[in-house]
């Protein structure tokens, strides 16, 4: 028999006659208490010795690692502006003379294509611009700019442009003039003759770039500084030092001292690490404070370990029996649940973690039966609410046959307008009367709306213009049926759109940040403020908020829960705009289950 097996048998023989309390206490003493006490005493002395012996090495290594991280992060942002400033095609386009608007438009499109995702490459990029001095090239207010009398980072664009051009070197970091916690990275766009075509301008969020390095460095026992090659403090954990000159800062006496900049002076350790870019990362650490903190922590941790180890023995013995009994009782009640009895409950008198579990158990038993019944009725409720007003008592085959007969008659009469109306009605009812599917592709939903609009345009010729803004990426995604058509129908039935001069309906569908955004706008008579508020609160029972809007809200909740959003805005006698947001669904969405959703659905 192996040694571990012998030890196991010995422990079993010794403890087999003990009750569970004694077993737990003995095991706790040998497994937790004694080893922890011995390790705490030994480790405490070792740690205290190592802290005192390796203080300088630890701090220097921390500064070096921070310097490496800062250098890597700086290089990442430098790479963005350097690539832009050295882009051969961009330089060629900034240097040419433009003679017509089409050449300028071609350059604007090139710049938009090349730099449209620049602000997404790294966190913290708030603005990216290309300033140029080409008088024949436009500025589009997006990426292309010409320095004028506008403000930028606390100074006039023209002054900033001239000062940056005159500053030695191509790449430059600086703090904002009006806000030192705003970082500006610029890079000159040079030509072959030593002149410059422009400047790449990138504004960064200080917190996104440097906050992770400068938040309580050395556990609050010191400060960290980042100094650029011109002697300016770009960033610091000491807020009042940000953006000032080195010779005006609190670290100037240490910087100019004759000893090496990795030494102790006046109870403080001053450590520097030079970056390849010319920047310097400097740290000023209070050694006495750190040693005092280490000593206090050591004593506190040791005392705490001793205290809680002793206390835990008494608490363990006092509460062990109670917890075992309560768990056993809870197990019995769970067994009752497994047999289908949802009326059971557990008496609760103690407000601890197990008490919270008992309360949750009681709440669960009270809700479980009701939830089972509600979930069983969800499918029926959805069908009743979604298509009650649209599909009741309709025979699709009868309608299709009738429309087909009318179309043949119109063909015989060569009535093109009547044929368009019949074709639009056929497309409209083909989707509306499909009872088998409650969800559809956005492409088919658009076809349904277009069929309805075709009918209205033929009914009211040249009265309403319809504008479309459809992102091609959304056409193959899924949505719920009859999402848009009831809203468009309201434009004709309730907003008086056909009576408005220059009447307009605008339908927009775009994909943005994992969501599909629908927007339907009309410049009809709008809603009165008090009616609009009731509609938003879902308390208005008038025709404007009849089947369409209430039904859409309900079905959005049914299929998308909290991820489905419905909003309406309106100004009386001016316009109404309805916005809908749903998650991107590459597969057909399913009815939500409780507060969650069907995990088998891929929502993009």
Q: Which CATH architecture has domain 66-209?
A: 2-Layer Sandwich (3.30)
Does the pLDDT of residue 377 top 70, yes or no?
no
| pLDDT level of residue 140 (50, 70, 90 thresholds) | confident
Q: Where are the domains of the chain?
A: 66-209, 437-583
437-583 CATH, one of 3.40.50.1110, 3.40.50.970, 3.30.565.10, 3.40.50.1220:
3.30.565.10
Other beta carbons within 10 Å of 531:
16
Percent of the chain clearing pLDDT 90 (strictly above): 30
Q: What is the pLDDT of residues 550-559, one digit of tens each?
A: 888 988 999 9
Q: What is the pLDDT of residues 90-132, one digit of tens each?
A: 999 999 999 999 999 999 999 999 999 888 889 889 999 999 9
Q: Which residue has the tokens 């025709």?
A: 543
Q: Which residue has the tokens 């939830």?
A: 371
DSSP H/E element including 26: helix 20-28
Tell me how many degrees the CA angle 272-278-280 measures, rounded to the nearest 5: 20
Q: What is the pLDDT of residues 443-477, one digit of tens each?
A: 999 988 988 888 888 888 889 999 999 999 999 99
Q: Between 141 and 2, where is the model more confident? A: 141
Mean pLDDT of the region 472-492? 91
Q: Between 367 and 599, where is the model more confident? A: 367
pLDDT at 259: 44
Q: Return mean pLDDT, the chain.
A: 80
Q: Give the pTM.
A: 0.43
Mean pLDDT of the region 289-312? 73
Strand partners, 204: 125, 183
Nearest to 601 by CA among 480, 467, 458, 470: 480
Does the pLDDT of residue 601 top 60, yes or no?
no
pLDDT at 543: 45
Tell me the three-class secondary structure of 436-467, residue by residue: CCCEEEHHHHHHHHHHHHHHHHHHCCCCEEEE
Tell me the three-class secondary structure of 45-102, residue by residue: HHHHHHHHHCHHHHHHHHHHHHHHHHHHHHHHHHHHHHHHHCCHHHHHHHHCCCCCHH
Comparing 66-209 with 437-583, is the CATH topology the same? no
Q: What pairing do the DSSP bridges indicate for beta strands 503-512 and 565-571?
A: unpaired
Mean pLDDT of the region 38-62? 74
Q: Which residue has the tokens 């943005």?
A: 512
Range in 185-199, 320-334, 394-408, 528-542 the model is least confident about: 394-408
Strand, helix or coil for residue 189: strand
């Amino acid at each position: 028999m192996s040694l571990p097996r012998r030890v196991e048998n010995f422990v079993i023989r010794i403890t087999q006659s003990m009750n569970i309390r004694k077993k737990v206490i003995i095991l706790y003493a040998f497994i937790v208490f004694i080893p922890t006490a011995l390790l705490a005493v030994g480790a405490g002395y070792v740690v205290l010795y190592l802290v005192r012996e390796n203080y300088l090495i630890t701090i220097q290594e921390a500064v070096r690692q921070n310097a490496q991280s800062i250098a890597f992060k700086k290089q990442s942002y430098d790479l963005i502006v350097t690539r832009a400033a050295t882009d051969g095609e961009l330089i060629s386009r900034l240097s040419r003379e433009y003679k017509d608007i089409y050449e300028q438009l071609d350059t604007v499109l090139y710049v938009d294509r090349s730099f449209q995702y620049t602000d997404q490459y790294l966190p913290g990029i708030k603005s990216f611009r290309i300033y140029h001095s080409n008088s024949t090239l436009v500025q589009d207010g997006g990426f292309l700019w010409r320095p004028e009398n506008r403000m930028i980072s606390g100074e006039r664009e023209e002054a900033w442009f001239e000062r940056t051009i005159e500053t030695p070197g191509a790449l430059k970091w600086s703090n904002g003039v009006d806000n030192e916690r705003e970082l500006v990275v610029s890079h000159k766009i040079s030509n072959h003759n030593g002149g410059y075509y422009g400047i790449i301008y990138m504004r960064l969020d200080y917190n996104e770039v440097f906050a992770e390095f400068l938040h309580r460095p050395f556990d609050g026992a010191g400060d960290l500084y980042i100094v650029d090659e011109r002697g300016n403090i770009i960033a610091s954990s000491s807020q009042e030092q940000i953006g000032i000159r080195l010779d005006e800062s609190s670290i100037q006496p240490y910087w100019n001292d004759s000893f090496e900049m990795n030494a102790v002076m006046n109870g403080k350790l001053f450590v520097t690490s030079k970056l390849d870019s010319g920047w310097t990362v400097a740290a000023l650490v209070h050694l006495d404070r750190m040693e005092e903190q280490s000593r206090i922590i050591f004593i506190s941790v040791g005392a705490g370990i001793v205290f809680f180890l002793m206390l835990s023995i008494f608490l363990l013995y006092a509460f062990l029996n109670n917890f075992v009994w309560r768990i056993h009782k809870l197990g019995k009640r769970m067994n009752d649940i497994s047999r289908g009895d949802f009326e059971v409950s557990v008496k609760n008198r103690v407000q601890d973690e197990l008490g919270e579990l008992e309360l949750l158990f009681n709440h669960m038993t009270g809700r479980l039966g009701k939830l089972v019944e509600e979930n069983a009725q969800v499918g029926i409720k959805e069908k009743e609410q979604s298509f009650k007003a649209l599909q009741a008592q309709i025979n699709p085959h009868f309608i299709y046959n009738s429309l087909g007969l009318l179309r043949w008659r119109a063909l015989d009469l060569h009535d093109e307008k009547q044929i368009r109306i019949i074709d639009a009605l056929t497309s409209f009812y083909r989707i509306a009367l499909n009872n088998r599917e409650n969800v559809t592709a956005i492409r088919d939903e658009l076809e349904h709306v277009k069929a309805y609009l075709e009918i209205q345009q033929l009914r009211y010729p040249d009265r309403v213009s319809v504008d479309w803004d459809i992102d091609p990426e959304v056409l193959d995604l899924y949505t719920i049926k009859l999402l848009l058509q009831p809203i468009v129908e309201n434009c004709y039935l309730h907003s008086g759109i056909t009576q408005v001069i220059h009447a307009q309906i605008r339908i927009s569908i775009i994909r943005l940040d994992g969501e599909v955004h629908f927007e339907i706008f009309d410049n009809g008579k709008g809603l009165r403020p008090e009616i609009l508020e009731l509609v938003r609160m879902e308390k208005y029972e008038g025709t404007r908020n009849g089947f369409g809007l209430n039904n859409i809200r309900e079905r959005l909740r049914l299929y998308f829960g909290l991820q489905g959003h419905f909003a309406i805005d309106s100004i009386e006698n001016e316009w109404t705009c309805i916005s809908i947001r749903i998650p991107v669904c590459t597969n057909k969405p399913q009815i939500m289950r409780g507060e969650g959703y069907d995990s088998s659905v891929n929502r993009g």
